[in-house]
Structure 1
Amino acid sequence: MRQRLLHGLLAAALGAAALLAPPAHAAPAGPSRAGGCDPLAPAECLLPFPNDWYTRPDPRTDTGRRVAFDASVLPRPATGTAVDPAAWNRADGFSPGSALIAQVPGLDLARTGAAPLTDIGGSLDRDAPIVLLDTTTGERWPYWAEPDANATDPARRALLIHPARNFRDGHHYAVALRRLKDGSGRTIPAAAPFAAVAGKRLPAHDPLRARQDRLRPALTALRGAGVSTRGLNLAWDFTVASTRGLTGDLFTIRDDAFRRLGDRSPDFTVTQVTDFTADQDPRIAREVTGRITVPGYLDEPGGPPGAVLNRDRNGTPRRLPHGTQLAAFRCEIPRAAFRTPSRPSLYGHGLLGSRDEVGAGNVKDMAAEHDFTFCATDWIGMAKDDIPVVLAALADPTLFPAVPERSEQGMLGALFLGRALIHAKGLTTDPAFRTAAGRPLVDIRHGLAYDGNSQGGILGGALVAASSDIRRAVLGVTGMNYGLLLNRSADFAPFQQVLDAAYPDKLRQQLVLQLFQMVWDRGETDAYANHLTDHHQVLMHIAYGDHQVANAAADVQARTIGARLLSPALAAGRSPDTVPYWGIRRIGPGQPPYRGSAMTVWDSGTPTPPVSNTPPTGPAYGHDPHEDPRNSPAARQQKATFLTTGRVINVCGTTPCTATPTS
């Protein structure tokens, strides 16, 4: 049903887009001046990206800077409608997971010797042709570089540089591209504007003098790190948003909502209780549905799809006057709970789905085998009702903030559901959560767990970071961030058609994806990853060769949160990498159970995924293993032990973990 709805909406979106006549390659928007396009890259506005040229000083922010996009510099969709920069200009820096984008005609990365995905360690070589420097600490930063494999015009092919672990919140970075080669091995000269800026001091009347002055500190920092201006093809700098800038919206509404709640349980209503016989369902004895009352922070009563956060004149989220929102929930209580009270856990559903995924077979298996009661609410913002908004936002970025901002309200709904599930005067006081004799079916003394898959893992990291009730979480077939994931996901194909219609130029598409990420950060794990494991334990379950959530994105997340890898992770020769799982510390097979955050890779025999920014689709990539880990009894045993004890046990012995392919 979801697929039929999606394709119907997609057809409508494409029909509207077909009436538009997109320009081939519009000229860069705005003149080459401060506030306009960066003169260093005259071929396309916003390049290179991210870039402090598009920020301004602001002593009120934690970074001392604020993003300052003018509407004229943001890529317009095929409609020609200007993009409203307001949501972006609230940021005090750029995304910690942002891909760096430049355009160097004729560039051959293999000839240049730039570090690919398969050799991330090479990015830190002393003579690496691409250098990322944390100027705050003087540390070189690991990355991989790739050409945009989706480009249709070689002259406008993007160079994509991905951080191998997220940039640090609030830090400043300098980027250097040097000794770049074309396909014949010839050195590509710097563009004239950069050559002038990187050269001798320009006279005061020169139009590039202001750009030279802005870039001078970054060039000085690079020289201090051994990167001379000689041989430079391009250099620029950028500031990463601060922790408060990244997490402030969600934490503001969380703090206000729980302050209003005090020590009470959230209000709730049970709407239906369904008891099953063992013949009807041998695993689940009772299903309970209902609604939780949650303070509403969206700008429309009831917070419908398309709503954004209600803000005061300073841009701070504020509760809509007298605003409340009802978060529908569904709980699955296993038969085991009628013998021994179950452990409470939230469940996070997959892409544009609903709370009803808590009734999936693998979730019921986990509940029955390990005595968990799982409760779920919709990830509004990224639920099935939001599909029209997501499609519209791909065609008009002005609409995009509704996706992450409604997701934040959805996370607040999940936080309130979790509090009601473990509060002494919460759900367990209702007869729906008690035996006929009045005994509670959920043991609230155990605290709250979280288990989510796919989108439930990608958004789940943000939820976990915001929760004071969740102790441990399993993020299944997860990764971050969407700006990295979308090109590499088989799920994105229908959405790609909308993006193609709105932005037929592939270079602009890459810029749009990273612009999306800047605001998407606030509603997914990417913004929270640098501090996710400060107070929480996280277990990542990864499907090797996943068609939907790229392994590369999971590896970035593991490095960022400091998760250790259960090893051996893969059979010898299975990985194409020079050093498989570079930068991720190991848990050896002979070690005692590990107490901390970890990642386990489950291999179903699927072919190795592509190393380019393309999805593993077609017969060559075989079976999609996306659902295999959650359907493995051994994986569920590892999850249950982790959620109940905090120990990461090795359920695979001295061999890599394998999962049976699901049909």
Structure 2
Amino acid sequence: MTSPVLPRTLLLASSLTLLLACTDDEIADTSDTGTETGGTTGDGDGDGDSTEVDPDVAWPTLDCDPLLPDYCGFPYPNNVFSIDDPDSPTGRRLAFSGALVPESNGYQPDPDAWVDSDGFSPASTLLAYFPGVSLQGLPTPITIEASLADDSPTIVLNADTGARVPHWAELDMSHGDDGRRAFMIRPAVRLDPNSRYIVAIRGLVDQGGTPIQASPGFAALRDISPSDDETIEARRGLYADIFLRLGDAGIGRADLQLAWDFTTASDANITDRMVHVRDEGLAMFDAGPQFNIVKIDVDPSPGIAMRVTGDLLVPLYLDEPGPAGRFTFGADGLPEPNTTTEYPFMVLIPTSAFSEPAGLVQFGHGLFGSYEDVDDSLLRDLATDYNFVVFATTWLGLSNEDLGQIASVLQTGRVDDFVTIVDRLGQGAFNGLAAMRMMRESFADAPELVGPGMEPLLIDTDRSYFFGASLGGIMGSTYMALTTDVERGVLAVPGQPYGLLLDRSEAFTPLATLTNGAYGDKLDMRIAFELIQILWDRSEPTGFSRHVISDPLPGTGPHEVLMLGAIGDHLVTNFGTHLMARELGIPQVNPANRPLFGIDQVEQPYSGSAFIEYDFGLPPIPLANVPMTEGSDPHGALANVPNAILTVEQFLRTGVVESFCNGVCDPS
């Protein structure tokens, strides 16, 4: 609101029937029916000097993949960039080469920064490169359902269940080099963890309508023709399996231009760190976290009795408290505190809280903001009108004091150092949890916090809520998945994942200029963002929003959330907002401004988690991965919509969602 800025089991035959002297036409015919057969063929002319082998799901580990020889790291994500690890939940472990992790400004990032990941990000963008390709006939962000059609040129398939993944396809338009635009497939949902996926592409043409040719390496696998590349030959058994699974899903091999597979990271790999930090850190507080009151401003505004600034004492899980800090780890591989430190907070106490028990609202500020952003007219009104004590800490990692570190990492291409942002976000999320515990258990006992007649501060801990906007709405999903003190929260103008949000945000434009300058080859820039996403999952909503409502994290109960979106948002793309709503599994309340793929509609008043979009009359947002810039940015406009404030307060108090709009919500 404020803006500081089908399923079925696949049974593999033990061997495939060998068809001697099989012609190319016969191979094409059997492929089109989805039936995988063995056979011999040569270089496409029926020479009979290569033989289909039995399916064997095993991957060589490669520095680069010759399936797309024009760029080392594509296709991406890709299981050939991993190794076997029988001790991990997925059986895999990422193993990137120096050639795959792009160098920038003479700096070579350390590939070992990703070695503790047991798979690729469930929010991965699927990358390939087809120079001069046309997007004609491909699914778009507003025709996602087309990606599930039998004739979709792009297919993303869960290898085990056979279920297709909704998605759209686009070219990377975030830079000006027409010759180096990545071909990107964006899943419209967060992929399942610990799952193998197969990507298949067919029917692509260039700008003149000429079909795109498969690379020699992929053609050799598809056509069962010989290759002098050992890495291609090593994957005969793997591709027998891939083509079998695609065929079972009705996708013939004859017209495929590219196919590959990858495995997503396990939930445990992504979330265990923060669950451990929460459980261990909060257990250190016997009678509530300790804090120091630094300053009290009396009667700073009408209805606010005190504005309190203080320092919260917390275990420090970073090697240093500032922007370059990163987690320190114990022998179990989980973060461990090395000392304690203080981080600031601010509290607004309404006058009414000294005569009637007040509820608690924790505020999550916007991008590059701070705890001081709680001193805002919207939050002051929420406190005074509804008797809430409102408070905030700083979202470390993406706060005003982190901007220099972020700019430095992006400008220099030190993507391995992006972990400093991720780990700081983790510490910041814990600080938020600790602050709520402080407010519930120890804050009201401070002797300084008394009314003019020495009345005690009264807090009703049964009314403990979260309200985040922009970054606070984004990271609020992580907070709500982790909190054991808050049942309901509001996520205003949020979205996920960051890999989708960044290119489409005006807020990122200055940093995008730095990133563009860091990479001469724009394909390097695109894969760098994907490498960052793997690290980011451990703090951003990709790792956590799934666990807010229906699949709680260990030791955590389910929560309820209200999401509010602004159609035409310049800072958080609507496509990311919709993806978060799908991942949370929440419906829109009717009457809705528009139907949205994968999001149900329900009648109001509605009890439970839900989503409301507000239409401010802007033109449609761009389909390409560029920011929306037309019209007045509605990102912070909900703060000035009285009906939205009523909706927020009622949901926090009762769990009932009602828009209070006269029909669709159209404040324009």
What TM-score results when the alignment is normalised by the length of structure 2? 0.87
String of CA shifts for 1:611-634, please: whole Å, max 9, x gaps.
2111122xxx11011111123221
Structure 1 residue 149 displacement after superposition: 2.0
Q: Distance in 1 between matches of 2:652 and 2:520?
A: 46
How many corresponding residue pairs? 603
Task: Write out per-residue CA displacement over residues 498-532 of structure 1, whole angstroms, 9 at most, x where no aligned residue.
Answer: 10111133222221111111111111111112222
Pairing 1:142–2:157 present: no
> Partner of 2:180 in structure 1?
156
What is the identity, as a one-letter code, of the residue corresponding to 1:99?
A: T
Match of 1:255 in 2: 279
State the Cα deviation string for residues 39-79 of structure 1 (Å, max 9, x = none). 211111111111111111112211111111122320111x2
- Residue 334 of structure 2 corresponds to 316
Q: CA separation of 1:212/1:367 partners in 2, compared to 1, >3 Å: closer, same or farther?
A: farther
Specify the alignment match of 2:132 in structure 1: 106
- Residue equivalent to 1:525: 541
Q: Distance in 1 between matches of 2:268 and 2:253?
A: 35
Question: Structure 1: 5+ residue runs without aligned partners?
Answer: 7-31
Q: Is the CA contact (8 Å cut-off) linking 1:433 and 1:442 kept in structure 2?
A: no
Equivalent positions of 1:318-467 (< 5 A) are 318-320=336-338, 323-394=339-410, 395=412, 396-423=414-441, 426-437=442-453, 439-467=455-483
Cα distance between partner residues in 2 of 1:39 and 1:433: 68
> What CA distance in whole angstroms lies between the structure 2 residues aligned with 1:204 and 1:157?
29
Q: Counterpart in 2 of 1:629?
A: 638
How far does residue 433 in structure 1 lie from its aligned partner after superposition? 4.1
**Paired residue secondary structure (1:174):** strand
Q: Taking structure 1 as reference, are residues 628 and 100 closer, same or farther at Cα in structure 2, changes over 3 Å only?
A: same
Give the match for residue 260 of structure 2: 236
Q: Is the 8 A contact 1:168 1:530 kept in 2?
A: no
User: Within 5 A, what are the aligned runs for 1:78-117?
Assistant: 79-110=105-136, 113-117=137-141
Give the counterpart of 1:57 among 63, 66, 84.
Answer: 84
- Letter matched to residue 429 of structure 2: M
The answer to whether the 8 Å contact 1:174/1:237 transfers is yes
1:24-35 mapped onto 2 (5 Å cutoff) = 34-35=61-62
On the 8 A contact 1:150/1:506 being kept in 2, the answer is no
The whole-number CA distance in structure 1 between the counterparts of 2:230 and 2:91 is: 28
Quote the Cα distance in structure 1 between the aligned partners of 2:455 and 2:359: 14
Alignment of 1:634-653 (within 5 A): 634-653=643-662
1:215/1:237 contact within 8 Å kept = no
Equivalent position amino acid for 1:633 in 2: P
Contact 2:61 2:83 in 1 (8 A): no
Aligned to 1:281: 301
Partner of 1:539: 562
2:97 to 70, 81, 100: 70
In structure 2, the residue corresponding to 1:501 is in which secondary structure? helix
For 1:83 and 1:219, the matched residues in 2 are separated by 35
Residue 204 (structure 1) shift: 9.9
1:337 positional shift: 2.5
The amino acid of 1:510's aligned partner reads: R
Q: Partners in 2 of 1:557 and 1:253 — Cα distance? A: 24
Shift of 1:466: 1.0
Check the 8 A contact 1:151/1:507 in 2, yes or no: no
- Measure, in 2, the Cα distance between the counterparts of 1:136 and 1:486: 32
Mapped to 2, the partners of 1:210 and 1:532 lie a distance apart of: 43
Q: Report the Cα distance in structure 2 between the residues aligned to 1:314 and 1:45, rounded to whole angstroms.
A: 35
Preserved contact between residue 196 and residue 261 of structure 2 (Cα < 8 Å): yes
Q: Is the 8 A contact 1:431 1:438 kept in 2?
A: no
Structure 1 pair 75–204 and aligned structure 2 pair: CA distance change class (3 A): closer
Shift of 1:215: 3.8
RMSD: 2.1
Deviation at 1:339, TM superposition (A): 4.1
The answer on whether the counterparts of 1:422 and 1:447 sit within 8 Å (CA) in structure 2 is no
- Tell me how far 1:442 sits from its aligned partner: 4.2
Residue 14 of structure 1 corresponds to none
The AA in structure 1 aligned to 2:538 is R
Q: Tell me the distance in 1 between the aligned counterparts of 2:448 and 2:146.
A: 58
State the partner residue of 1:10: none
Check whether the contact 1:96–1:241 (CA below 8 A) recurs between aligned residues. Answer: yes
- Structure 2 vs 1, CA of residues 434 and 444 (structure 1 numbering), >3 Å: closer, same or farther? farther
Query: C-alpha distance in 2, partners of 1:552/1:227?
Result: 28
Query: Quick one: percent identity of the two aligned structures?
Result: 35
**SS in structure 1 of the partner of residue 562 of structure 2:** strand
Structure 2 distance, partners of 1:499, 1:245, is 28
* 2:665 aligned residue: 657
Distance 1:473 1:326, change over 3 A: same
Whether the aligned pair in 1 keeps the contact of 2:217 and 2:227 (CA below 8 Å) is no
Partners of 1:177 and 1:232 within 8 A in 2 = yes
Is contact 2:463-2:653 (8 Å) kept? no
Q: Describe the superposition over 1:333-353 as per-residue Cα deviations: whole angstroms up to 9, x where unpaired.
A: 123324422211211111111
Matched residues in 2 for 1:352 and 1:205: separation? 49
8 A Cα contact 2:223 2:254, kept in partner: no
Q: How far off is 1:245 after superposition?
A: 0.9
Change (3 A) 1:644 1:518: same
Cα deviation for residue 157 of structure 1 reads 1.3
- 1:649: how far off? 1.6
Q: Select 1:475's aligned residue among 491, 516, 536.
A: 491
Tell me the secondary structure at the aligned position of residue 238 of structure 1: strand
Letter of the structure 2 residue corresponding to residue 636 of structure 1: I
Question: Would the aligned equivalents of 1:421 and 1:444 in 2 still touch at CA under 8 Å?
Answer: no
**Alignment partner, residue 314 of structure 2:** 294
The reply to whether residue 583 of structure 1 matches residue 583 of structure 2 is no
In 1, are the aligned partners of 2:315 and 2:340 still within 8 Å (CA)? yes
Which segments of structure 1 move beyond 6 Å, counting only runs of 4 or more? Answer: none
- Alpha carbons of 1:205 and 1:479: their partners in 2 closer, same or farther (altered >3 Å)? closer
Q: Distance in 2 between matches of 1:333 and 1:307?
A: 33
Query: Which of residues 608, 616, 619 in structure 1 aligns to 2:628?
Result: 616
**Distance of 1:316 and 1:70 partners within structure 2:** 25
Q: Is the 8 A contact 1:349 1:453 kept in 2?
A: yes
Checking the alignment, whether the CA contact within 8 Å between 1:448 and 1:469 is kept in structure 2 is: yes
Instruction: Write out per-residue CA displacement over residues 552-593 of structure 1, whole angstroms, 9 at most, x where no aligned residue.
Output: 0000010111011122332xxxx6xxxx311100123xx4x2
Q: Structure 1 stretch 181-190 or stretch 288-297: which is displaced more?
A: 181-190
Counterpart Cα distance in 1 of 2:531 and 2:463: 38
Q: 1:158 and 1:442, CA in 2 relative to 1: closer, same or farther beyond 3 A?
A: farther
Q: Which structure 2 residues correspond to residues 595-610 of structure 1 after superposition, within 5 A?
A: 595-610=607-622
Q: Secondary structure at the match of 1:373?
A: strand
Asked which structure has the greater CA Rg, the reply is 2
After superposition, the Cα gap between the structure-2 partners of 1:313 and 1:80, relative to the gap in structure 1 and judged at 3 Å, is: farther
Q: In the aligned structure 2, how far is the partner of 1:377 from the partner of 1:194? A: 52
Q: 1:628–1:659: 8 Å Cα contact kept in structure 2?
A: no
- 8 A contact 2:370–2:394 mirrored in 1: yes
1:594 aligned partner, one-letter code: Y
Stretches of structure 2 lacking an aligned partner (at least 5 in a row): 6-58, 551-557
